[in-house]
Amino acid sequence: MLESLLQSFNIPIEPPAWAITETHRRIVLLLNHVLMQEPQAIERLVRQKGRVVRAQWRQMTFTVVVTPAGLFDLAVADAPPDLSLVVTEESPFAIAQELIQGGKPAVRIEGDVQLAAEVNWLIDHVRWDIEEDLARLMGDVPAHGLAQVARNMAQAVEQFVGQRSRSAPGGPTA
């Protein structure tokens, strides 16, 4: 319902180019931070150096190149992708629901099979240990408490979404 209400306004919200570029830079920094916690991920990516991966959802694209160090950097704007990942689900709410339930959104994959296998391995095996990073900033006990609150909130949202999907017309029944 909320999604259809937002779509009825049909207001194109386009952030300025500088904001998009800065957001992409921050995402690359976060991805590299997470990758550096997993040596096997870096080893796998070193073998793919120079390869370009483009992710797309609706009109939004994010294109990175694998560096010789096994990390990511923003690719030049006109770099042809070796691998394209296009999220086919249009609804942000459906994507969020799929992710909350532990699934993956539907993605159309085009390009290099080996690179796709490596990216899939990264998605399946590399996780951000947020609690460890928080502990460096605020100490172990506060970080653990904050992480526990976040886990409880995530569990409550997951239960709510599960109840809503079971009670929705045409949804799964118990």
Query: What gap in Å lies between CA 103 and CA 95, rounded to an integer?
Result: 9
Question: What was the pLDDT predicted at 173?
Answer: 47
- Mean pLDDT, to the nearest integer, of 21-43? 93
> Which pLDDT score is estimated for 7?
56
- Give residue 146's pLDDT: 75
Q: What does the pLDDT average to over 119-134?
A: 80
Distances (CA, A) of 14 to 20, 22, 103, 131: 9, 14, 29, 34
pLDDT at 174: 43
- Helix, strand or coil, per DSSP, at residue 103: coil
What is the CATH number assigned to the segment(s) 14-93+103-127?
A: 3.30.1050
Other C-beta atoms closer than 10 Å to the C-beta of 61 total 15
Cα end-to-end span (Å), the chain: 24
pLDDT tens string 78-118: 999 999 999 998 888 787 777 777 778 888 999 999 999 99
Instruction: Provide the residue ranges of all domains of the chain, joining segments of one domain with +.
Output: 14-93+103-127, 131-167
Question: In the predicted model, what is the mean pLDDT of residues 41-58?
Answer: 94
Mean pLDDT of the chain: 82
